[in-house]
Chains A and B, each alone.
Chain A
Amino acid sequence: MKMVPLEAYLILSLLLFGLGVFGMIVRRNLVAILMSTELALNAVNVAFVGADSHLGLVDGQVFALFIIALAAVEAAVGLGIIVAIFRLRKVESSDELTDMGG
């Protein structure tokens, strides 16, 4: 059985992570910024699992499980902060959040 090479997983991971970072920079909507963060986290998971199937181990899959759990925490706290920002400031775009700007 021909295995998928490690390079394919890493190239996919690189492209997905790049798209995530691109979305974090380009997007203005706060919820869309968090969704781009999810793309980057998934890219890391793909790299972990691809390295696992290359090495024949399962340690990377354990860390992928940890990353999924931490992504759930990040979504809960981040979305809570977004809802709080909207309730207190009535803004939902990252351009209008300039309170900490120099």
Chain B
Amino acid sequence: MMQWVAFLFFASMTLLSALGVVLLPNIIYVILSLLSTLVMVAGIFFVAGAELVGALQLLIYAVAIAVFYVLVLTAVPWEKALKKDSHYRVEGVLTFPILLAFYLEIILVFLLGISVSPKGQIREFIQNLGNTQVVGSILFSKYFFAFELVSLVLLVGMIGAVIVGRREDKTYEDGSP
């Protein structure tokens, strides 16, 4: 019961803050609203029992990425954007039935998949350990190659960000940017 109340609180706050991200005109309020959304999603992770993911959500998302957004806002002139209103509102609302069909497809695949997949192999192993230990042992055994691949993607992204952000006077020979 307590879990359900906590879930409803976190879910409603998540959706309220997400509405703020989508609809607020001032970009500073938007980023504060995004920060609130990320923290509330971390609360949902805690309700679901995923403590490690919730803690990393707080550490990486709500601190590092949000601060990074604030830093970039100082580099672009956001005052100019205050006067413009948004556009394509009707088209944005019209995407929702498509998304609903997409989610129904996902649910179908999920339920069909778990009904035929072999289960119960590592349940006993999981129940004896804490969440962080389990995630760590799965991450470094079953998904170790994907883990290393993610580190490669991080390296490529870092190099790409440095190359894109490099200051140079002329990009091409004829001077066009």
A19-B22 contact in complex given A52-B50, A72-B64, C-beta closer than 8 Å: yes
A4-B7 contact in complex given A49-B53, A53-B49, C-beta closer than 8 Å: yes
- Which residues of chain B in 127-156 are interfacial with respect to chain A, using CB atoms and an 8 Å cutoff? 131, 134-135, 138-139, 142-143, 146-147, 150, 153-154
Task: Check B126 against A58 for contact (C-beta < 8 Å).
Answer: yes
Beta-carbon contacts of A66-84 to B below 8 Å, as 1s and 0s?
1011111111110111111
Question: B112 interface residue, CB < 8 Å from A?
Answer: no
Dominant SS among interface residues on chain B: helix
A88-B80 contact in complex given A4-B4, A32-B27, A76-B157, C-beta closer than 8 Å: no
Question: Given B19, B45, B107, B122, which contacts A10 in the complex, CB threshold below 8 Å?
Answer: B107
Task: Check A14 against B161 for contact (C-beta < 8 Å).
Answer: no
Beta-carbon contacts of A1-16 to B below 8 Å, as 1s and 0s?
1111000111011111
Contacts of B76 in A (CB 8 A): 30-31, 82-83, 86, 92
Contacts of A25 in B (CB 8 A): 88, 91-92, 95
Beta-carbon contacts of B11-49 to A below 8 Å, as 1s and 0s?
100110011011000010011001001100100110111
Task: Check B30 against A32 for contact (C-beta < 8 Å).
Answer: yes
In the assembled complex, the CB of A64 is this many whole angstroms from the nearest CB of chain B, namely 5
Question: B116 interface residue, CB < 8 Å from A?
Answer: no
Question: Given B123, B135, B142, B161, which contacts A76 in the complex, CB threshold below 8 Å?
Answer: B161
Task: Check B92 against A58 for contact (C-beta < 8 Å).
Answer: no
Contacts of B56 in A (CB 8 A): 65, 68
Report the bound CA distance from A52 to B114 in whole Å. Answer: 12
Contacts of A69 in B (CB 8 A): 60, 150, 153-154
Contacts of B47 in A (CB 8 A): 4
Contacts of B158 in A (CB 8 A): 73, 76
A2-B61 contact in complex given A73-B154, A81-B164, C-beta closer than 8 Å: no
Question: A26 interface residue, CB < 8 Å from B?
Answer: yes
Contacts of A100 in B (CB 8 A): none
Task: Check A62 against B107 for contact (C-beta < 8 Å).
Answer: no
A31-B48 contact in complex given A26-B87, A80-B161, A81-B164, C-beta closer than 8 Å: no
Contacts of A3 in B (CB 8 A): 3
Task: Check B177 against A77 for contact (C-beta < 8 Å).
Answer: no
Task: Check A66 against B87 for contact (C-beta < 8 Å).
Answer: no
Which 4 pairs show the lowest CB-CB distances between chains A and B?
A73-B157, A23-B22, A25-B92, A53-B48
A interface list, Cβ under 8 A from B: 1-4, 8-10, 12-23, 25-32, 34-36, 38-39, 42, 45-47, 49-53, 55-59, 61-62, 64-66, 68-77, 79-84, 86-89, 92-93, 95
